[in-house]
Chains A and B, each alone.
Chain A
Amino acid sequence: MSETNQTVAAIEMVDVCKWFGDFQALKDVNLRVDTSEKVVICGPSGSGKSTAIRCINRLERHESGQISVDGINLTDDKSSVAAIRAEVGMVFQQFNLFPHLTVIENLTLGPIRARGMSESAARNLAESYLERVRIPEQAEKYPGQLSGGQQQRVAIARSLCMEPKILLFDEPTSALDPEMIAEVLEVMAELADSGMTMIVVTHEMGFARKVADTMVFMDHGRVVESAPPEQFFSNPRTDRCQEFLSQILSH
């Protein structure tokens, strides 16, 4: 711990608060993620997991506290938002692929428009990432013609095409039929092995055990517990976390 504290954290959230009108969705959230670290966040629905990670790339604006990514302080300044988004990719529960574009167009849009790549370079890049998520043969199809599992892998490849340092996953398998969950988790586990810094909101505890360096439990907008997986699963400190885990694991 003491040695990592001296280097710049990949992500650092300090006392972050967020309100939706009168409702406080995040209460003094503190979270530190080091480079190459994998953090899995779990917690009951409505506990603020999505809001927390969406604040990191400014899909939601935090009202107080500090967020920094790779030493860049996230402020209202557009250039800080752009700089952070260039380093952070995101994978959504609902995939959010562009339905009017083919798979390859979904993948090359960002590299061409935001990174100024040539079309052929972007295509090569996209093809290599499609290979990596194991669907190179689907390049010319439209998202609507793919299975949910394939769509989510396209979405992961789309994020990777921006060559981010950090990937955020918001319940990437929750919208999938059970038989497709494994293929997506497998791709994510490979990414984890490659050294990508990741925050994953998920209830897939098998995946969490295997991949996570740190488990975080959130409840009512707070980080209630944060520990390495062995300790987290065998010996949760709080009753809320214990209760939650017993519910989840009994499924």
Chain B
Amino acid sequence: MKIKIRDCRNTLLLLMLPLLTGCGNQWGWYVVNPSTEQGRGNLKFLIGGLGNTILLSVCALLISVVLGLLVALPGLSENRWLRWFNRVYVELVRAVPLLVLLLWVYYGLPIAAGISINVFWAGVIALALSDSAFEAEIFRAGIQSIAKGQTEAARTIGLNYRDTMRFVILPQAIRRILPPLGNQLVYMLKISSLVSIIGMQELTRRANELVVTEYRPLEIYTILVIEYLILILIVSQGVRWLERKMGSDERG
């Protein structure tokens, strides 16, 4: 773990070195120079999108987890029609590009449903819907990996479907589901940059807006890359830690 973090830091420093030195004139790092007021303001503005990126991703993940579970359970049923529903949902949702879904939810859904949706919730809904198909597959695989004997044992001691899921299957499945869920969060943090398209004030949108006023795309987008790198590396480390912890907890 210690070595990993030092590796990451060194990689980042190496990346930045040629940018900060070397290429003299073409670089205009003053736009984000923390020792000037303008630079400080710009940096603050850029980093100010971080909260929204995280909030958007976490909200979307939570909703997609619930949706995914609701879609996964019918997929495990003995009823053919319920399984059919699961397949159709997963295939359809996976077939729609996220950007298209996003535009449809933001511009189309308010007209179709006669409601108003702000950018944040449009982003959350689109991300959650699109991710729910993947979550459903993660849940289905996780639950299926719990031996059939566990369900049978639960049935023979009189547990109904709900209690069997709640007390026997899901607690065991969760160990296998959590690590892939963590990876979905990483994916979500990255893909949430798309929501900048409809005007959501997250990391990418902030960078775009600053570029328009400052005309320094190279420096500003470099900062954007670094922002995502740091965020993703931290979260990935967390996911690895979780994987190890879940693995070592396995009993029996």
Contact = CB atoms under 8 A, between A and B. Distances in A.
Interface in B155-175: 155-160, 163, 167-168, 171-172
B150 interface: yes
B158 A162 contact: yes
A229 interface: no
Interface residues of B, number: 19
A57 B158 CA distance: 11
Contacts of A96: 147, 149-150, 152-153
Instruction: Please classify how large the interface on chain A is, using the bins under 10, 10 to 19, 20 to 34, 35 or more.
Output: 20 to 34
Contacts of B147: 94, 96
Given A92-B149, A94-B149, A114-B163, A100 B156 contact: no
B244 interface: no
Interface stretch (A29-37, A82-90, A180-188, A215-223): A82-90
A162 B157 contact: yes
Given A85-B156, A94-B149, A113 B167 contact: yes
Contacts of A94: 147, 149
B252 interface: yes
Given A99-B172, A100-B251, A144-B252, A59 B163 contact: no
A52 B202 CA distance: 62
B95 to A, nearest CB: 32
Interface-central residue, A94, A110, A113, A114, by most chain B CB under 10 Å:
A113
Nearest to B153: A96
Nearest to B162: A113
B158 A85 contact: yes
Interface-central residue, B147, B160, B167, by most chain A CB under 10 Å:
B167
Interface string A88-125: 11101010111110000000011001110000000000
Interface of A: 57, 59, 82, 85-86, 88-90, 92, 94, 96-100, 109-110, 113-115, 142-145, 155, 158-159, 161-162
Given A109-B157, A145-B252, 17 more contacts: A59-B155, A59-B156, A85-B156, A89-B156, A94-B149, A96-B152, A98-B150, A100-B171, A100-B172, A110-B157, A110-B158, A110-B159, A114-B157, A143-B251, A144-B251, A144-B252, A162-B157
